[in-house]
C-alpha cells in the first residue's frame, strides 16, 4: 500500500466499540447482557418518539439542512435565540466541526488528561499541539489549565460533568476561570450529561453566554433523552461565531429521523425528569455499597460512576462482571459503570459484593 495518509493519523486508532452484547452472550453462554458501558439511558426512550417517527412517510427527500423545526423547539427549551444554535450528528460530530474550524498545526488546544477522548483525537487529526493537564482528584484543574493558555491557544475543553469521573466544575470556579481566559480562546463546555446534574452549584452556563462571547455549550439527545441511536446533538454560542462554524458543517448532517425524534423527545420532559430522579436515587444506593465495602469512587453528576476496588486491577473487575453478564468500561485506574435500573443494580451490587469479599 503506497497511498499515504497524514503522518499524525498513524498514532491514532479508530474508535473500538468493544464486543457486541450478542458476542459476549455467545462467548460466555449467558442468558442476558446488561450493557452498562456507554452511559445510555437504561429506561429507554419516551414512547412519543416511536409514534412521531412512524408517521414519517417520505424517505426520498433530503432532510431540512437547517433543522428549522428542531431549532425552534431547542431555542424554546434552552431559552436562546435560534441563530445561537448549531446541530450535529451527535456531539462527536460537533467536536469534529469545532476542531476543523479552529485547529491547525500552528495552534494549540488545552484539555484535561482523563477526559472524553474525542477532543484529543480530533486535535491530533488537525495536527494541533495538545496541552493536557492531569485531573486533580478526578477534577479539572482549571488553574493549571489557565496557565497553559498562550497566544496560539484556540480551544479549551471542559467536560462538565467529566466523563469518565463524573466530577464537576462548580459555578464559582467556572466564572473565575472564564474571567482569566483571553477573549481569543474558545472555551467549550461539554455538557452531555447536563440534564442529570443535580448539584446546587453546578453552573448554569447559558446565562453566561451573554457575558462571554468566547463560550460555547454542547448538549446532546444521546444521554438523558435516550436517543443515542439517532445521533443528534447541538451547540450553543455567539450567533456570529456559530455562523462561522456552519461553514464546516456538512449540508445534511442530521437526518430527518433524528430531527423528528428530538422534537418528539422535547415534548415529553416528564420522561427525562423521571430518568433523572431515578438515576439520582440509584446513585445514592451505589454510594452506600461503595462506602460499606471501602470501594473508592467519585461522587457523580452523571448517569455513571467511576469506581476502583482496592486490591483489584480494573481489567479483573471488568472481566469478572463481563463473564457474569454486565459490560462496563475499564480505565487504567478504575472502571466506569453506567447507572442502570433498580433491578439491574441490585444484581450488579450482589456481584460487586461477592468480588470484594473474595478480594479481601
Ligand X SMILES: *Cc1c(COP(=O)(O)O)cnc(C)c1O
Q: Where are the beta strands (DSSP E) in the chain?
A: 34-35, 85-88, 108-113, 129-134, 153-159, 186-190, 215-220, 233-236, 296-297, 304-308, 326-327, 329-331, 334-338
Nearer to ligand X, 90 or 330 (CB): 90
228 touches ligand X by CB under 6 A: yes
Cα four-point dihedral sign 258, 264, 267, 273 = negative
For residues 145-174, which are near ligand X according to CB under 6 A? 159, 163
In whole angstroms, the minimum distance from the beta carbon of 142 to ligand X comes to 17
Separation of alpha carbons 177 and 92, rounded Å: 25
Query: What secondary structure does DSSP assign to 114-166, as a single string?
Result: SS-THHHHHHHHTT-EEEEEE-BTTB--HHHHHHT--TTEEEEEEESSPTTT-
Task: Establish if 255 lies at the interface with ligand X (CB under 6 A).
Answer: no
- Please report whether residue 195 would count as binding ligand X according to CB under 6 A: no
Least gap, CB of 163 to ligand X (angstroms): 4
Q: Single out the residue of 21, 25, 43, 92 in contact with ligand X (rule: CB under 6 A).
A: 92
356 binds ligand X (CB under 6 A): no
Q: List the one residue out of 44, 48, 90 whose CA is nearest residue 340.
A: 44
Omega of the bond leading into 238 within 30 degrees of 0 (cis): no
Q: How far is the CB of 264 from ligand X (least distance, A)?
A: 17
Cβ distance to ligand X smaller for residue 116 or 241: 116
269 binds ligand X (CB under 6 A): no
- In the complex with ligand X, the residue whose CB is nearer, 304 or 320, is 304
Give the residue with the Cβ less far from ligand X, 335 or 355: 335
Which residues inside 233-252 make contact with ligand X, applying CB under 6 A? 233
Q: CB-hemisphere CA count at 13 Å for 316?
A: 12
Taking CB under 6 A as the binding criterion, the range among 50-58, 90-98, 106-114, 310-318 that sits at the site for ligand X is 90-98
User: Measured from the CB of residue 95, what is the shortest distance to ligand X in angstroms?
Assistant: 7
State the binding string over 107-146 for ligand X (x if CB under 6 A, else -).
---------x------------------------------
* 161 vs 194: CA distance, rounded Å: 8
Nearest approach in angstroms of CB 294 to ligand X is 28
Q: With CB under 6 A as the contact rule, which of the stretches 137-145, 220-228, 249-257, 330-338 interacts with ligand X?
A: 220-228
99 vs 289, which CB is nearer to ligand X?
99
Rounded-to-integer distance, Cα 63 and Cα 69, Å:
11
In whole angstroms, what is the distance from residue 227 CA to residue 92 CA?
A: 14
- How far is Cα 232 from Cα 334, in angstroms, rounded to an integer? 29
* Minimum separation from the CB atom of position 192 to ligand X (A): 4
Site for ligand X in 20-59 (CB under 6 A): 39
337 binds ligand X, rule: CB under 6 A: no
User: Is there binding between residue 194 and ligand X (CB under 6 A)?
Assistant: no
- Smallest CA-to-CA distance from 177 within 142, 218, 140 is with 142
Does position 91 interact with ligand X (CB under 6 A)? The reply is: yes
Total number of residues binding ligand X (CB under 6 A)?
Answer: 13
Question: Does 220 sit near ligand X (CB under 6 A)?
Answer: yes
Q: Kindly tell me which of 187 and 309 has the beta carbon lying closer to ligand X.
A: 187
The bridge status of strand 153-159 relative to strand 108-113 is parallel
Residue identified by cell 444554535 is 85
Residue corresponding to grid cell 447507572:
339
Residues forming the site for ligand X (CB under 6 A)? 39, 90-92, 116, 159, 163, 190, 192, 220, 222, 228, 233
Amino acid at each position: 500500500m503506497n497511498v499515504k495518509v497524514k503522518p499524525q493519523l498513524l498514532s491514532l486508532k479508530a474508535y473500538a466499540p468493544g464486543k457486541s452484547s450478542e458476542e459476549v452472550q455467545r462467548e460466555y453462554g449467558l442468558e442476558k447482557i446488561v450493557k452498562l458501558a456507554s452511559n445510555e439511558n437504561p429506561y429507554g426512550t419516551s414512547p412519543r418518539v416511536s409514534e412521531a417517527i412512524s408517521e414519517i412517510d417520505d424517505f426520498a427527500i433530503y432532510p431540512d439542512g437547517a433543522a428549522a423545526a428542531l431549532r425552534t423547539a431547542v431555542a424554546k427549551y434552552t431559552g436562546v435565540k435560534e441563530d445561537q444554535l448549531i446541530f450535529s450528528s451527535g456531539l462527536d460530530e460537533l467536536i469534529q466541526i469545532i476542531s476543523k474550524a479552529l485547529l491547525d498545526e500552528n495552534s494549540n488546544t488545552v484539555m484535561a488528561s482523563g477526559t472524553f477522548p474525542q477532543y484529543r483525537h480530533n486535535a491530533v487529526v488537525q495536527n494541533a499541539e495538545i496541552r493536557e493537564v492531569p485531573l486533580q482528584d478526578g477534577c479539572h484543574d482549571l488553574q493549571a489549565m489557565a496557565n497553559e493558555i498562550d497566544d496560539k491557544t484556540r480551544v479549551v475543553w471542559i467536560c462538565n460533568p467529566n466523563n469518565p469521573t463524573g466530577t464537576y466544575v462548580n459555578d464559582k470556579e467556572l466564572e473565575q476561570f472564564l474571567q482569566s481566559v483571553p477573549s481569543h480562546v474558545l472555551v467549550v463546555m461539554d455538557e452531555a450529561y447536563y440534564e442529570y446534574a443535580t448539584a446546587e452549584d453546578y453552573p448554569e452556563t447559558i446565562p453566561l453566554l451573554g457575558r462571554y462571547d468566547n463560550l460555547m455549550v454542547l448538549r446532546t439527545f444521546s444521554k438523558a433523552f435516550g436517543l443515542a441511536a439517532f445521533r443528534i446533538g447541538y451547540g450553543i454560542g455567539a450567533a456570529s461565531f456559530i455562523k462561522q462554524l456552519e461553514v464546516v458543517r456538512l449540508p445534511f448532517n442530521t437526518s430527518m429521523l433524528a430531527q423528528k425524534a428530538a422534537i418528539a423527545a422535547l415534548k415529553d420532559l416528564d420522561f427525562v425528569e423521571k430518568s433523572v430522579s431515578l438515576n439520582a436515587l440509584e446513585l445514592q444506593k451505589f454510594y452506600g455499597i461503595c462506602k460499606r465495602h471501602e470501594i473508592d469512587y467519585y461522587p457523580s453528576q452523571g448517569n455513571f460512576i467511576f469506581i476502583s476496588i482496592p486490591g483489584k486491577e480494573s481489567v479483573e473487575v471488568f472481566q469478572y462482571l463481563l463473564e457474569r453478564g454486565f459490560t462496563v468500561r475499564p480505565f487504567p485506574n478504575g472502571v466506569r459503570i453506567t447507572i442502570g435500573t433498580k433491578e439491574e443494580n441490585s444484581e450488579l451490587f450482589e456481584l460487586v459484593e461477592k468480588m470484594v469479599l473474595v478480594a479481601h
